[in-house]
Structure 1
Amino acid sequence: MTTASDNDDRQRALHEATEWFVRLNNPLASNETRRAYQTWLAANAAHAEAIQAVWEFWGELDQPAARLAASGWHREAPAPIPTPRPRQPAKIGGKFAAAATVLALAAAIFVWRDPGIIDRAFADAATRPGERRDVRLADGSLAVLDGDTALNSDMAGGRRVVTLLRGRAWFDVVADAARPFTVHAGQVDVLVRGTAFEVDRDAATVTVEHGRVAVSGPQTADLQVDLTDWQRVAFQNDRLGTPAAIEPDQAFAWRRGLIIVDRAPLSQVVKELDKMAAGHVLIVDRQLERTTLSGTFRADDQDTVLEALRATLGVRTLSVPGVATLIYR
């Protein structure tokens, strides 16, 4: 039986494997780095599966990595786990060394600018930043995925289990008294039988539109909070808070393609901006994080939100499209 903890461990292993992928494809990688990789590989059986998955994933991309591999730059090891062979920097031709260095740098930038790529690549259903999608699950329930969201589902036999790997999703669950519907989302577990509700993994919140849900933490299943219509609870400081009433129009505005903020701190606004388009949005001046913004914006128009920040808060922004946007004074 797969648990929420198992899924978290797998995602962590995939992220670590991606970092090793980048480091090991540097032709100047030291023997110390390779020994550290072998230590990491042997530390957990999940690491071998993760590194295999990452190599296969990158090999399938129609990118220079695949072309370089076909040219002979990469040679698969005879062992089933694709461990890169040690390479002597002095013996690598200039062109191949340069290509490998560029590849490693490009891979690092690619993963940094879009950290959700690994979660989405291994998910049953996913959306890119700026995309929203309706997904009909095998039991007939509806899941609406916000930008940069990924989930897995298991509807076999008497199970109805969804694991939210990242992002935010709204569920309209088909009632089935014999098969409770469970959502695992990091520190939050949600149990329902038939209702409509939202789970935000990043914010660790659960919001109910109608019906009734039971919310608990994975380590505190006996300490649960019951929510009903238009209530929200957050998991903070290792515990569930007290249910609070929410404003319906604001809470689910993203499903209508809108972002509504009411004196929201800039740190929260940045999380919404990250869902709108590829690339990171970074606050350079930490003192700005508590500065608040109010307004209604289209969820697919990041530029309008940035313009509102400049006009209302007097901040400046610097953007490299698809890579990063800096917010500073």
Structure 2
Amino acid sequence: MNGGRSMPDDRALFADLLQMTISKDPLGQDALIAEASRWLAALDAGSARPDEFEAWRRADPARAVAYARVAASWESTAAAQPGATQAPVAAAPVPTTAGRRQWLKAAAVGLPVMLLGSGFIAQRAYAWDNATTRVGEKRRVPLPDGSVAYLNTDSSLSWRFTTEKRMLRLDRGEMALDLRHGGAALLHAKDAVLPLAPGLFDARVDAGQAELTLVDGAAMQLPGIAKGMMLQPNMAIIVDEDRAPRLMARSTEQVQSLMAWRAGEIVFLDQSVADATADFNRHLTRKIKVTNPDLAREKIGGRFDLDRPDQFLKAVSLSLDARVVTTPDGYELTR
């Protein structure tokens, strides 16, 4: 969880002191508090993956409650420091003149019985929100600043918006991101952090690769990715695990086909049957398999409804002299 990075001293002390109470707690509540405090410290230090945190928090309501208690306690502590402008959260009394470390020592004993703030406070202060789609599902996700993300099939997006930063993380799948009415943002995709200016984007993450296409908007610099890189409309930046980031120009037709899923369609522009099948399978629970190597290398083009794989199967069958075999799991294309 900490990725080898050290926690801030105060948060490390917070975790250690909370851990001291575990042996006195047969119901495990203090253990949850201690675990939640370690997550808070790692998230604050930037050494925890938000998707892993969300998986931990959502797996058990008791974890969400424990995290809310810890986060609200820490927030009230921060508000009590000299010069703080944020109003304290309702919690156990915290003397405004007490040092943070003194309060932490007291909180190690007092936390199990403290009446603290709600999960909303924890979510707002430290956690990432998340939205997902199932295979074959699409979803419109309004973002806090008025921007909108559209999730494609089998996708997961996390975001954290504060007054200073707008951060998004595409954990898997694909999204169209409309930032034209919002502000600048940072997109985390695989190991890349991509600065985004207002515009319309398509972002996709798959095995070993992240890809971001600027569909509409002004050209923008990509600092921190490669010196001098400029992302233009109808251009994509591709980040591989084992290669340097690279730019790829796309035609208007290619960009339109890339975004066709927003209208419930899938478009192939002279693609191999193998690649076209792989793209279609992202949207299907009943998959298509190509069992003939020669057929897999053949090229095909066309526009098909995403919920009508039979259209695609018929086109391959008629144009490429293929046979369609229905199986318990889906379909086979062969010769």
Which of 283, 298, 316 aligns to 1:309? It is 316
- Structure 2 residue 228 is matched with structure 1 residue 221: no
Aligned ranges for residues 63-212 of structure 1 at < 5 Å?
Answer: 124-174=130-180, 180-202=184-206, 204-211=210-217, 212=219
Aligned-residue offset at 1:163: 1.2
CA deviations on 1:2-44 (whole Å, 9 max, x unpaired) are 99xxxxxxxxxxxxxxxxxxxxxxxxxxxxxxxxxxxxxxxxx
What's the CA shift for 1:282?
Answer: 3.1
1:259 is matched with which residue: 258, 261, 266? 266
* Amino acid across the alignment from 2:205: R
Unmatched 5+ stretches in structure 2: 4-47, 62-127
CA contact (8 A) 1:262 1:294 kept: yes
CA RMSD in angstroms comes to 3.6
**Aligned-partner residue type, residue 202 of structure 2:** E
Q: Percent identity?
A: 23
- 1:283-303 deviation line (CA, Å, top 9, x unaligned): 334444432111111122112
Please give the alpha-carbon distance, in whole angstroms, between the structure 2 residues aligned to 1:192 and 1:141. 12
- SS for the counterpart of 1:238 is coil
For 1:169, the aligned partner's letter is M
Kept in 1: contact 2:202–2:213 (CA 8 A): yes
Where do 5+ consecutive residues of structure 1 fail to align?
4-44, 58-121
CA distance, structure 2, for counterparts of residue 271 and residue 223 of structure 1: 34
Q: Secondary structure at the match of 1:276?
A: coil
Matched, 1:240 2:234: no
Residues 314/285 of structure 1: CA separation in 2 closer, same or farther (3 Å cut):
same
In structure 2, what is the Cα distance between the partners aligned to 1:270 and 1:306? 9
1:184-243 deviations in Å (ceiling 9; x for gaps): 222544211211110111263221111134558xxx734473212222233456123333
Kept in 2: contact 1:190–1:214 (CA 8 A): no
Cα distance in 2 for residues equivalent to 1:240 and 1:273:
27
What SS does the aligned partner of 2:266 have?
Answer: strand
* Contact 1:164 1:184 survives alignment (8 Å): yes
Is the Cα contact below 8 Å between 1:227 and 1:243 reproduced in 2? Answer: no
Structure 2 CA distance for partners of 1:275 and 1:238, relative to 1, 3 Å: same
CA–CA separation in structure 2 for the residues paired with 1:171 and 1:256 = 15
Kept in 2: contact 1:129–1:274 (CA 8 A)? no
SS at match of 2:318: helix
What is residue 33 of structure 1 aligned with on the other side? none
Q: Distance in 2 between matches of 1:267 and 1:254?
A: 19
Give, in angstroms, the shift of residue 324 of structure 1: 4.0
